[in-house]
Amino acid sequence: MKTADAEKWVERIRTGNLVELLREDPDFFAFVCRQCAVVYCEKCWTVGVPEFDDGFYDCTRGTCPKGHSQTLDD
């Protein structure tokens, strides 16, 4: 990623609608609950234990304060 591209993303994150950005890259915006469309800080999520598949990291799931589960890191 070029510096100019990164700067555009930072500006979009700073001033934009994070739910719309979630549609573009759901992995990058894991802190937005996909079901209730609310942005939560890392302390608000109940983060599960990292999951492994055949000894390799697979993902980490979490639950938002409203009880919706999703993958936070993949």
Query: Is residue 1's pLDDT more than 70?
Result: no
pLDDT band at 45 (very low <50, low <70, confident <90, very high): very high
Across the chain, mean pLDDT equals 85
Query: What is the rounded average pLDDT of the residues 54-72?
Result: 94
How far the first Cα of the chain sits from its last, in Å, is: 20
Half-sphere exposure of residue 3, counting CA atoms within 13 Å on the CB side?
Answer: 0
pLDDT band at 65 (very low <50, low <70, confident <90, very high): very high
Q: What is the pTM of this model?
A: 0.69
